[in-house]
Structure 1
Amino acid sequence: MTDEKKKTAHLNRRQALMMMGAAGAGLMAPLTIGRDRAFAANADASGQIVLAFSQEPTVFNPLMPHIEVDEGLYYAVYDPLFDFDAEGGFFPILAAEVPTVANGGISADGLSWRVKLKEGVTWHDGTPFTANDVKFSLELTMDPDFRSFRSTGYKFIQDITVVSDTELTWTMSEPFAPMAAILASTYIVPKHVFDGVADKNSTILNTAPIGTGPFKFKNRMAGDHIELEANADYHMDGPFLKTLIIKYVPDLNVMYTQFKSGDIDVIGLQYIQPDNLAEAEKLPGKVVEVAGKATFESLGFNMMRPQFKEKAVRQALYMALDKTSIIDALYYGVPTPTETYMPQQSYYFNENLPKHEFNIEKANALLDEAGWVKGADGVREKDGVRLSFSNSTTAGNHLREQAQQFIQQTFAMVGAEMTIKNLPPAVMWGDYWMNSEFDSVVVGLNTLAGADPDTSDYFMSTMSPALGGSGQNTFVYQNPKVDELLVAGAQDFVPEERKAIYEEIQAVIREDLPFLPMFQYAVIKGWKDDVEGPAPNINNRIDTWNVREWTRS
C-alpha cells in the first residue's frame, strides 16, 4: 500500500463529515494509473477483479434508455470519443484529440465541428473502427424509430460528413454549449452490426455487446454476473487485468459481508453503507475511502398523478420529511443535506436556496388551507382524490427501506398515506421507472453530463418517455419557465452568465418540488489493498470510468 493510500484508507466518522461538509471539498486526490505511468499499450494483462454492484446491468446497447449501473458495463466494453477526468478536463479516447476552438476542431461561433479519430482502432470482432461508426451512432440517436436514451443536443447536429476513415465534420443548427459534455457520455456503437436489421432496437448488442473498449464481453449468467475478458488489441494503455467480473448482489448486507470475506475485490454501487463505516475502516487488507458524488437522493413524484398536481401538497410533504433525522440516524451523518440536484462542488451550485424545515404543524396547516380534508381514517381527500400513494425503490437496499418506513410515519402525521412497494432492481429501474409507471420513488440521480450544468434531459417538458419524449424526465415535470431557462443556458458559452441561469433553474425547481431533495451522496468505497486504480470522479456516473487502468499486484 502506498503512503498516500495509508493516509486515506482509514477515515473516521468525524473526518468523513468534515471532508464532506467543507465548501468545495468532497473529492480526494485521484489515484491515476495508466496515463501517468507510461505503461506500454496493449500490456500483457493478468489477474482478475470481482467488482460488485447492487443492481444488475440489463441494457447492453448504450444508446438505448438505461440507468447508472448499466454504465458500469459500458465503460469496460465501449468507448466515447473523449471523457472527463476527475478535475473536469477532457481527455481523448477514440478521438485523436479533443476538438476545441484553439485546435480548429470547433469554430468560434460553435456551429462547425471537426473530429479527428485515432488510426488502427478495431471493434472486438476485428472489424476496423471508422468515422462511419461515429456518424451512424450520432444519427441513430436521432432516428424516430429508435428508442434513444437522449435527444438533447443531438437534434442540433446537421450535415454529418465523413471526410475520411479518421475524420468527420458536422454543423450545429444553433450553438449548444453542453455538446462536448454530451459527446463525452455518448458511447460509440458498431455500424456493421445494424446492417440488414429491420428493427434497430433489436440487435446483437442487446445480448452480446461489441465495443472498442478495454474488455470484451465473454458471458453472462442472468441474475448473477457478467464475465469480461481483456481486449488484447485495445488502443490505449491497458487493460492490465485478464478478467473483470461484474457481480450482482442486491442485498447490501450480503454485499458487505462478501467484501469482508474477500469474495469481492471492489465494492461498487451502492457501496459500503454508512452503518458499516466504523467497522470497514478497521478491516485488514482493505482500502476504504469516503468520496463525494454528483448523485443526489430524493423522493420523487410522478407528476401525472392527481395526488401531486397541487404545489401545496408537495410543499407540505417536504415539511413532513424529516431528512435531518434520516441522514443522522440511518446514514450516520455521512451524506450532505441538499436543496438541489446540483452538486455542491459545481461552479453552478446555488447556495442561496431556501433551507428545508421539518414542521408537522405547518404542513398540516398548509394542507388545511389548500382544502385537503382528513377523513375518518385520517387520510386527507380533496375533490374525490385521496392523498394516498405508493412509494418504490430497490428491494434489498436496507437503508432506503428504513428511510421509507420513517417517511411513511411522518407523512401519516399530516394525513398522507404512503404504502411501500419495492421491486427487484431490474424491474424497478426498467419500464416501471423509465415509463413513469410509479406513484413516487426514492431514487439517486446524477442529472449532469460530466461537469456541464445542463439538465435538459431530466427537466425539459419534452423529455418525458411517458409522453412520447426521448429523455430521462421520468418525473414528468413540466414548467415553461424552466424550459425557457434551459434553452437559454444551452446557448450561452460564458460561464458567469450561465451560472446565473442555472442558479435560477435551481430556484424554480426548489419552489416547484417535483422531487423532495434529501442529500448529496457521499459514498464509502472499498477495495482490497492489492488493487490499484479505482478513483473518485464526480464528473462521471460510476466507478468503472477508468477501468482500463485498474490493476492488482
Structure 2
Amino acid sequence: MTERDRNAGKIPEEGDRVAMKGLARYRLLAATLVVLLAGLSVLAAGCPRRAPEEDPGAEVTAGGIMIRGSIADAQTMNPIYVADTASGDITHHLFQNSLMAWNREVELVPNAAESFPEVSADELIYTFRLRPGQTWHDGQPFTSHDVVFTYESFMNPFYTGPRRADMAMFLGYKAYVGELAAAKRALDAKEIDQEAHDRRVTEAFEAWRALGAVRALDDLTVRFILETPMAIFLTRTAGYHIIPRHILGEVHGRDVKDHGFSRNPVGSGPFRWKEWLPDQHIALVGNADWEGGRDGKPPAHSDELVTRVIPDQKTLEIALEAKEIDFGGVTPEEYERFKAMPHLRLMSTPTFAYTYLGLNLANPLFQDVRVRHAISHAINKEVMVDELLMGHGTVAWTHGSPARWDYNPDVRTFPFDAARAKSLLAEAGWTPGADGILQRDGVRFSFLLQTNLGNRMREQAAVVIQSNLKDVGIEVEIKLVEWATFVSDVLLAKNFETVIVGWSLGVDPDAFSIWHTEGGPFNFVSYSNARVDELLEEGRRVGDIDRRREIYQEMQAILAEDQPYVFLFYPNAIHAVGNRIRGEIKVSPIASPLFYAEDLWIPAALQAGPHLN
C-alpha cells in the first residue's frame, strides 16, 4: 500500500482544521455503501462465470488493444456537457481528475486533491490542496486555475449543459440565477434585444465571479465558499471532471460546447485521445506518463482502448461470439447460451439503474393522475421481468434502486390489473369509440411511443406496452430513433408524448436535476410537485444519513403515487468479458468490467488485436 493509499482512506486529523462533524457524515455514508456493495459483489461473483485459461508465465505485460462494443456512439468529449452514458464511458478514461471520487470499495476519497479539504467550522468554506506534479496530456500543468475555470464554466450564462443546478450551494448562486431568469423574461417579452440580453447576463456573471465563490489561492490551492451547508458538495459537486483552462479559457461561453476540444480532447487520465470516427469507433491510447489517480494506480497496461460502435444489440452479440470484441453487454435471453462459450466470462449484477415509460406531463392526455395510474395497472411489468429480463432484474415501482441505501421498499404499487385500468379510465371520462379506442370530447386516446433504435430490451418493452394498452382501449404507435437524435431532438428538446428510456443513477441519492421543478433539462417529463421540491432541497443540505434516508424515501413514495413515469423494471447488468483479458475485474452497481481499464492487461501471446484470435 502506498502512502497515497493510506491517506485516501484515513479520517483527517484534528490538526487538519477540518470540521469533523461534516466529514463524519461522508464517512458514514461510505461505510453504509461498503457494507451494502460488499453483498452485491458477492452476488455478482456468485453468478456463473468462467475463469480465463492459465497462460505459461502469465505475468503483467504491456501492449495489446482492448476492444469494447457499444450500441451508441458518444455525443461529446467535453465532460461538462456529457449527458449520456456512451460519452461518459469514454471521458471517464480520459480525465479522472475530479477533486473527489468514489473508489472501487465505494469509499469517498481524494482524487486530484491530495487530501480531504479543510472545512470551516460553519461548513461554508472548503479549501482543497491539489496533488503536485499533475499534468494534462499535452504536458501543461494541471492547476487550481483549471478547477476554478471548470466551475465557473458551469455558471457561465451561456452554458447549456445539464449541471448548473448542482452548483446551487455556491455563494451568490440564487441571486445570480434569478438575474439570468429576469434577463430571459425581458428578452422573451421583447423588452430588450439579444445584444442587450447578452450584455446584461455577462455583467451578472462578472458580478458573481467577483464574490469569490470559487477562487485559486495559488497554483495548487482552490477555495470554495458556499451560501449554505450542502451535503452533496463533496459527494457530487466535487466529483466532476476538470477541463483545461489553457485550451478553453479564451473561448466565448457560447462556443465552448461546439469547440474542437469536444471532438479532440486533451485530458489528464490513464488514457490519451487518439481518434473518433463517428458511428464507427473511438480509440484511446495508454498514457505511459500517468502517475495514477484514485488509489495511486499505475499507468495503463494496454496500448489502446477502442470502443466500436455497433448500433444493434444482436450484431454486438455476434461480435462477442466471433471474438471481435472483448467487452459487451448480453441480453438476458442470450445469457445461458453465452455462459456456455469457453472464451467468455459472464457476470450478472444489480445496478443503480431503472427503465421507465416517461409520460410528457405537458400533454393533456397524461395530466389526470387516474389516467397515469390506469396506464401503470395496464402494463404487465411482471411479464417484462420474467420474459424480457429472464429473471435478471426486478419490477420497479419508483425512482431509485433496491441496490442503493436510500431505497424505499414500501411505496404504493400498481400490479397488472386490466379491469382496474379500465375502471380508472372510465372515471376519468374516457369511453370506447366505434373502433374500441377510447375517446373523450372528440379526442382519441392515441399516442406515439419513442425509444432508441438498437436497444432490443426497450424495443421489446415497447411492444409489450403497445399490446397491453390496446387491451384497455389505448392506441400506441412505436417509433425507433437513432441514439444521438433521440437524446438531442427527443429527450432534451422534450419533443415527445411518451418515451422508454432509463436512468443510471449515482452513489448519492440527490435527484434534483431529474425531479425538481427548476431542476433543468433532465426533468424530461416536466414534473412539478411542491413537496418533492422541498424534499430535494432539504436532501441536498442535510448531512445526517438517517435523515437523508427518510427524505428520499418520502420522495420515492410521492413519485410512486404521482406516477410521472410508469416505472418498469430494475435490470441487472449482464457483462461479457473475453478470456484474453487479465487483471482484477470487479463489477458493482457503480463499476462495469472496464471501469478500471488501466488495471487490465493482455498476455503477450494474445495481443493480436484489433482482429482478435
Quick check: TM above 0.5?
yes
Say whether residues 1:373 and 2:431 are aligned partners: yes
Question: Which is worse superposed, 189-198 or 417-426?
Answer: 189-198
- Partners of 2:37 and 2:588 within 8 A in 1: no
Say whether residues 1:141 and 2:154 are aligned partners: yes
Provide the C-alpha distance between the structure 2 equivalents of 1:185 and 1:260, rounded to a whole number of angstroms: 37
2:268 aligned residue: 212
- Partners of 1:294 and 1:538 within 8 A in 2: yes
- Partners of 1:153 and 1:176 within 8 A in 2: no
Say whether residues 1:53 and 2:75 are aligned partners: no
2:167 aligned residue: 154
- The residue type paired with residue 496 of structure 1 is D
1:127 aligned residue: 140
- Partners of 1:316 and 1:363 within 8 A in 2: yes
1:328 aligned residue: 386
1:245 aligned residue: 306
- Partners of 2:145 and 2:216 within 8 A in 1: yes
How does 1:38-437 map onto structure 2 within 5 Å? 45-79=62-96, 80-99=98-117, 105-158=118-171, 159-183=213-237, 185-198=239-252, 199-236=255-292, 237-267=298-328, 271-437=329-495
Deviations 1:109-142 (A, max 9, x none): 3211011111111111221110000011011111
Provide the C-alpha distance between the structure 1 equivalents of 2:113 and 2:43, rounded to a whole number of angstroms: 26
Per the alignment, do residues 417 and 397 of structure 1 end up closer, same or farther by CA in structure 2, a change over 3 Å counting?
same
What is the deviation of 1:244? 0.5
Provide the C-alpha distance between the structure 2 equivalents of 1:340 and 1:126, rounded to a whole number of angstroms: 47
Provide the C-alpha distance between the structure 1 equivalents of 2:162 and 2:526, rounded to a whole number of angstroms: 15
Per the alignment, do residues 307 and 83 of structure 1 end up closer, same or farther by CA in structure 2, a change over 3 Å counting?
same
- Partners of 1:75 and 1:544 within 8 A in 2: no
2:164 is paired with a residue whose SS is: coil
Provide the C-alpha distance between the structure 1 equivalents of 2:116 and 2:321, rounded to a whole number of angstroms: 41
Per the alignment, do residues 276 and 491 of structure 1 end up closer, same or farther by CA in structure 2, a change over 3 Å counting?
same
- The residue type paired with residue 46 of structure 1 is G
Q: Which has the larger radius of gyration?
A: 2
Provide the C-alpha distance between the structure 2 equivalents of 1:231 and 1:431, rounded to a whole number of angstroms: 36
What is the deviation of 1:530? 2.6
What is the deviation of 1:366? 0.5
- The residue type paired with residue 110 of structure 2 is P
- Partners of 2:437 and 2:444 within 8 A in 1: yes
Number of residue equivalences = 504
- Partners of 2:347 and 2:575 within 8 A in 1: yes
TM-score (norm 1): 0.87
Per the alignment, do residues 279 and 494 of structure 1 end up closer, same or farther by CA in structure 2, a change over 3 Å counting?
same
Provide the C-alpha distance between the structure 2 equivalents of 1:25 and 1:520, rounded to a whole number of angstroms: 17
Higher helix share: 2
Deviations 1:365-421 (A, max 9, x none): 101011112222222223454321111112122232222111101101112111101
What is the deviation of 1:45? 4.0
What is the deviation of 1:25? 4.8
- Partners of 2:584 and 2:600 within 8 A in 1: yes
1:475 aligned residue: 525
- The residue type paired with residue 27 of structure 1 is S
- Partners of 1:299 and 1:515 within 8 A in 2: yes
1:476 is paired with a residue whose SS is: coil
What is the deviation of 1:288? 0.8
What is the deviation of 1:29? 7.7
Per the alignment, do residues 419 and 24 of structure 1 end up closer, same or farther by CA in structure 2, a change over 3 Å counting?
farther
Provide the C-alpha distance between the structure 2 equivalents of 1:87 and 1:374, rounded to a whole number of angstroms: 56
User: Mind listing any 5+ residue stretches in structure 2 that lack a counterpart?
Assistant: 1-35, 46-59, 172-212, 293-297, 604-613
Per the alignment, do residues 144 and 138 of structure 1 end up closer, same or farther by CA in structure 2, a change over 3 Å counting?
same
Question: Which is worse superposed, 331-340 or 88-97?
Answer: 88-97
- Partners of 1:324 and 1:337 within 8 A in 2: yes
Provide the C-alpha distance between the structure 2 equivalents of 1:59 and 1:30, rounded to a whole number of angstroms: 32
1:350 is paired with a residue whose SS is: coil
TM-score (norm 2): 0.79
Deviations 1:3-51 (A, max 9, x none): xxxxxxxxxxxxxxxxxxx9995434899xxxxxxxxxxx984221001
- The residue type paired with residue 510 of structure 1 is A
> Pick from 583, 586, 607: which aligns with 1:535?
586
Provide the C-alpha distance between the structure 2 equivalents of 1:523 and 1:176, rounded to a whole number of angstroms: 32
What is the deviation of 1:328? 0.8
- The residue type paired with residue 162 of structure 1 is A
- The residue type paired with residue 376 of structure 2 is Y
CA RMSD of aligned residues (A): 2.0
How does 1:490-501 map onto structure 2 within 5 Å? 490-501=540-551
User: Mind listing any 5+ residue stretches in structure 1 that lack a counterpart?
Assistant: 1-21, 32-42, 100-104, 466-471
1:37 aligned residue: none
1:113 is paired with a residue whose SS is: strand
